[in-house]
């Protein structure tokens, strides 16, 4: 984790640096919201053959994970890429103590996650 000396935010790859990955489900390392009350996750993927879906999950014990049910808390529920590119999942109001991203790759691609962890932020744009 790298800290930004000019702000209260930190950067981390959550165990998902840019690497070539095969078709399967990948779970990032968890974010402990006791240390980082909010997180934004920047997800990128190179060319893939069939599908790419990332879903925000939460847990109270860092073991039993539940998909984010809806966007009522202001959190992004999921990200679907239809072609090579990038997108983001934001979690300004976590539902549990821990959050992570579960990504289902439908084909081999270079995939990475960069997270920005920090203090609580407003849900409004």
Give me the residue spans of the domains in the chain: 6-118
The DSSP bridge partners found for residue 69 are none
Percentage of the chain lying above the pLDDT 90 cut? 45
Q: What is the pLDDT of residue 36?
A: 87
pTM for the predicted model, two decimal places: 0.85
Is residue 1's pLDDT more than 50?
A: no
Q: Higher confidence at residue 122 or residue 81? A: 81
Closest CA to 81 of 112, 50, 56: 50
Distance between CA 51 and CA 76 in Å, rounded? Answer: 19
Distance between CA 18 and CA 93 in Å, rounded? Answer: 27
* Mean pLDDT, residues 11-31: 88
Cα separations in angstroms, 66 against 48, 59, 98: 26, 6, 11
Cβ-based neighbours of 120, under 8 Å, separated by 6 or more: 37, 38, 92, 93
Distance between CA 100 and CA 75 in Å, rounded? Answer: 12
Closest CA to 18 of 37, 42, 35, 34: 42
Q: What is the pLDDT of residue 6?
A: 54
CATH of 6-118, picked from 2.60.120, 1.10.150, 1.10.3470, 2.60.40, is 2.60.120
Residue-wise pLDDT tens digits, 37-89: 889 999 999 888 788 999 999 999 999 999 999 888 889 999 998 888 999 99
């Amino acid at each position: 984790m790298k800290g930004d000396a000019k702000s209260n935010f930190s950067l981390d790859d959550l165990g998902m640096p840019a690497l070539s990955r095969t078709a399967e489900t990948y779970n990032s390392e968890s974010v402990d919201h006791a240390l980082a009350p909010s997180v934004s996750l920047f997800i990128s993927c190179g060319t893939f053959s069939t599908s790419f879906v990332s879903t925000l999950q939460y847990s109270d014990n860092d073991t039993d994970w539940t998909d984010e049910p809806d966007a009522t808390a202001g959190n992004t529920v999921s990200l679907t890429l239809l072609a090579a590119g990038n997108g983001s999942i934001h979690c300004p109001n976590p539902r549990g103590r821990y959050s992570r991203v579960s990504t289902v790759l439908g084909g081999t691609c270079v995939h990475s996650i960069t997270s920005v962890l920090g203090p609580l932020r407003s849900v409004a744009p």
